[in-house]
Amino acid sequence: MQNRITQLFSHKSKDILNIYFTAGYPNKDDTETIIRELADAGVDMIEIGIPFSDPVADGPTIQHSSQLALNNGMTLALLFEQLAHIRSYTDIPLLLMSYLNPVMQYGIEAFCKKAAEVGIDGLILPDLPMFEFEQNYRKLFDRNHLSHIFLISPQTSEDRIQKIDQASTGFIYAVSTDSTTGRSEDLTKTQEEYFNRIKGMNLQNPFLIGFGISDAKSFQKATTYAHGAIIGSAFIKSLGKTGSLKAIIHQFVRNIRGEQPVSN
């Protein structure tokens, strides 16, 4: 059975825009609105971050949003409540990004079942080792039609990338740097070599580039190597601005796509 992620990649092979946001930020009840407006603005996929007190792979912007979301009273159980009717108004691929601790506290089987029930298509669990996924959880994920998205970095060996490719069912998340999220810098020669190396491996899964993608220039650059890119910190910063969420979100997406604002 194809889920929405594989369906997306079956009909679109480039310029895929995946936007990350932290559930419960800027306000506890903004989750549905943000998903709705991102979908209406034309993004291809949405990654919903589950706030956690110790997000080791996240830079200061996402860490800050996570802490504020927790302060707002955001919980995993509440997030599932907020997502209960999400499929009544959008068919866009949705992913949950979390760390193992909150998932284990909820119960991983219950978590996967509930994620599938509300219409989630994939999970990103950066601290879930591949061997543990293969041995203990693959059947559980498959049973609930959930893709597990693995991360690779410039330090990941080709042998491991091939193994990750074999274990993947949606796409591969190619982290552009070994540092945390939120650093917006031009691609280095080493990074370009890394992306070309992945591109030249003829993997069976598509790959998206994340970390450091913040504007039209960096998005367009990333998509010359990969099938698309993931933007998180830059979007979180936009959500922190004053103004209507709808206007902020639509303007952000237009800026990333390099579209000119609509004149009255």
Positions marked catalytic: 47, 58
DSSP 236: H
Selection from 79, 157, 149 nearest residue 119 by Cα: 79
> CB-based contacts of 120: which residues, under 8 Å, 6+ apart?
83, 94, 95, 96, 146
The two tokens of residue 64 are 């800050």
CA angle 13, 112, 137 (to 5 degrees): 85
**Can you tell me the distance from the alpha carbon of 58 to that of 63, in angstroms, rounded to the nearest whole number?**
6
The gap from C-alpha 186 to its chain's centroid, in whole angstroms, comes to 21
- Residue in the structure block whose two tokens are 């220039």: 217
Q: Does a cis peptide bond (omega within 30 degrees of 0) precede residue 26? A: yes
The two tokens of residue 110 are 């219950």
